[in-house]
Structure 1
Amino acid sequence: MIEAVGLTKRYGDRVAVDQLSFTVRPGQVTGFLGPNGAGKSTTMRMILGLDAPTSGRVTVNGRPFARLDNPMLAVGALLDAKAIHGGRSAYHHLLCLAQTNNLPRRRVDEVLDVVGLSTVARKRSKGFSLGMGQRLGIATALLGDPQILMFDEPVNGLDPEGILWIRNLMKSLAAEGRTVFVSSHLMSEMEHTADHLLVIGRGRLIADCTVKEFIEGNSVLATRVRTPDAPALAALVSAAGGTVTSEPDGSLLVTELPMRRVGDLAFDNGLRLHELAPLQASLEQAFMELTKDSVEYHGSLGAQ
């Protein structure tokens, strides 16, 4: 378990992390989300003792990371997959870490097999693709068989098969009772992977809830309707207090009126429906809505 209380980090006058308090619990995948510059990487570095908090504290299984007796056995982390000596093979990179942490040599072969690099284990890592480098970084995180796993953008560079693999790996690790903490900008992937979400903006915590709660709390419930009597139904819905938007495909998008009420209006007035379906917002849509005031960098679609 990871616990932060009042965690704060300042760089001069800039506050990168501002009074963050949260708990990352075992047995689930916790997604860590936020716009660029929100403080995600700084927070993860403080958890791992790579940056010292200006104030507040963060502990791993009740102790600061620096005070863990065998840190690699407690926490496995992927923060920068490129932080590997390019002249070493994948095997010797892992073997060096295993030997300096009193881990058995067989563990190297085990994690290489898990990440699918056994056939290229003796090749120098400088020739690895971005995706292969990610797999080696994940193997490094798994080497100590830790109870806590931290991944920063783990699907970066992976092909569709690799993305599905890491998604299932994270879920299986959580199912074993481990703590899995993952930061990512890919909302669609987090929607399929995470059980719980921590969302920060400008260094502050703005959401701590399940994925379902996050989407429901930051999106508008809508109903999609297809009917040959669209003008008549639109008038009825508007009269009942709903809002109707005509979509390019001919369907109607109804908000501010429950789906059951829309169906009743059609039935009571003899209108035929071809489709009546709830529209659930995606995690990406809900995230954009919640963080729209926390985005630090804005691009432009003006002339190039």
Structure 2
Amino acid sequence: MIEVSELTKRYGSKTAVDHLSFTVRPGQVTGFLGPNGAGKTTTLRMILGLDAPTAGAATVSNVPFHSHRRGLRHVGALLDATRVHGGRSAAAHLSALAHSNGLPLRRVDEVLQEVGLADAATRRIGGFSLGMKQRLGIATALLGDPPVLMFDEPINGMDPEGVLWARRLFRRLAAEGRTVFLSSHLMSEMENTADWLVVIGRGRLIAAESVGDFAARSTRLNVVVGSPRAAALAVVLAAAGASVEPQGSTGTEKLAVTGLSAERIGALAFENQIMLNELTTRTASLEEAFMELTADSVEYLAGQPR
């Protein structure tokens, strides 16, 4: 378990993390979301003791990470897959880490096999693609068979097969009862992988809840309506106070309706003798909810006037 309590980090007049508190529990994949500059990487670094907090505390299994004598046995982490010695082979890199943490060397072969790099074990890391370096970083995190795992943007540079493999791996690790904390900007992957979300903006907590509950907080809930008389139905619904937009390409005869429930839309269609062939309530996607609920926390906006 990871516990963060009133964690704060300031760099001069800049507050990167601001009285942040949350808990990451075992047995589920917890996604860590926030706009660029929200303080995610700084938070991960403070959990691992790489940066000292200005105030507050972070613990792993009830103690600060530096209290664990051999860290890889307790926490496996991937923060930057490119921060490795390019002149070493994958096997040499992992062997050095195994030796320093008192781990059996057989773990090197096991984790290389696990991440699909067994055939590249003796190749120099400098010749690896970004996707291969990500796999090596995941192997490093798995080396000590730890109960807690932290990953910062682990699937950047991976091909579709690699992304699917990583998704299944993270879910399997959580199913084994481990604590899995995963930061990513890829909302579709987070929607398919995470069970729980911690969302921050400008260093402050925005939400800590299930993926479904977070998406449900969006105001972008609407109803998709299909009818052979979509134009007539649009007039009726607009007169009742709804916002109506065509859904999909021309000729699909579908409308996206906001402001009326599915039940009310069905009743209005019945009263006006308009046949329906679809009536579906649509909740916001994780990406839509994230964009809406973090809009006030975005620090770097493209296309803004100077």
TM range (shorter): over 0.9
Counterpart position of 2:303:
300
Shift of 1:47: 0.2
Q: Does 1:38 align with 2:41?
A: no
- How many Å apart are 1:293 and its aligned residue? 0.9
- Contact residue 4 and residue 22 of structure 1 kept, 8 A: yes
User: Mean Cα displacement is larger for which, 213-222 or 50-59?
Assistant: 213-222
Moved over 4 A (4+): none
The one-letter amino acid paired with 1:274 is: N
How do 1:127-166 and structure 2 match up within 5 A?
A: 127-166=127-166
Question: Is it true that 1:282 corresponds to 2:278 in the alignment?
Answer: no
**Does 2:244 align with 1:241?**
no
8 Å CA contact 2:70–2:102 kept in 1: the answer is no
Normalised by the length of structure 2, the TM-score is: 0.95
How much does 1:290 deviate?
0.7
Tell me, yes or no, if the aligned pair for 1:6 and 1:20 is still in contact at 8 Å: yes
Alignment correspondent of 1:228: 228
Once residues 269 and 148 of structure 2 are traced to their aligned partners in structure 1, the CA distance between those partners, rounded to angstroms, is 53
Matched with 1:125 is 125
Distance 2:94 2:7 in 1: 33
1:170 aligns with 2:170: yes
Report the TM-score, using the length of structure 1 for normalisation.
0.96
Letter of the structure 1 residue corresponding to residue 56 of structure 2 = G
Q: Which amino acid aligns with 2:70?
A: N
The equivalent of 1:258 in structure 2 is 261
Please tell me whether the aligned partners of residues 194 and 211 of structure 1 are also in contact (alpha carbons under 8 angstroms): yes
- SS of the residue corresponding to residue 19 of structure 1 reads strand
Say if 2:71 and 2:101, in contact at 8 Å, map to a contact too. Answer: no
Contact kept? 1:219, 1:285, Cα under 8 Å: no
The AA in structure 1 aligned to 2:177 is: G
Distance 1:235 1:85 in 2: 66
Aligned residue in 1 for 2:204:
204
Q: Which amino acid in the other structure matches residue 184 of structure 1?
A: S
Find the aligned partners of 2:303 and 2:268 in 1 and give their Cα distance.
44
Rounded Cα–Cα distance in structure 2 between residues aligned with 1:227 and 1:13: 58
Equivalent in the alignment of 1:95: 95
- Give the whole-Å Cα distance in 2 for the aligned partners of 1:43 and 1:10: 12
State the 1:238 CA deviation. Answer: 2.9
Matched, 1:273 2:298: no
Mapped partners of 1:164, 1:201: distance in 2: 28
Q: Are 2:116 and 1:116 equivalent residues in the alignment?
A: yes
Following the alignment from structure 1 to structure 2, what is the Cα–Cα distance between the partners of residues 299 and 237? Answer: 36
Structure 1: stretches of 5+ with no match in the other structure = none
Which deviations, in whole Å up to 9, do the C-alpha atoms of 1:35-72 show, x marking residues without a partner? 11100000000000000000011100100011113211
Task: Give the aligned residue type for 2:35.
Answer: P
**Please, which moves more after superposition, 25-34 or 255-264?**
255-264
User: Counterpart of 1:272 in 2: which secondary structure?
Assistant: coil
How far off its partner does 1:301 sit? 8.1
Question: Post-superposition shift, 1:86?
Answer: 1.0
Whether the 8 Å CA contact 1:58–1:64 is kept in 2: the answer is yes
The more displaced of 245-254 and 181-190 is 245-254
RMSD between aligned alpha carbons? 1.4
Alignment of 1:60-75 (within 5 A): 60-75=60-75
Separation of aligned partners in 2, 1:232 and 1:292? 36
Instruction: Look up the SS of the partner of 1:145 in the other structure.
Output: coil
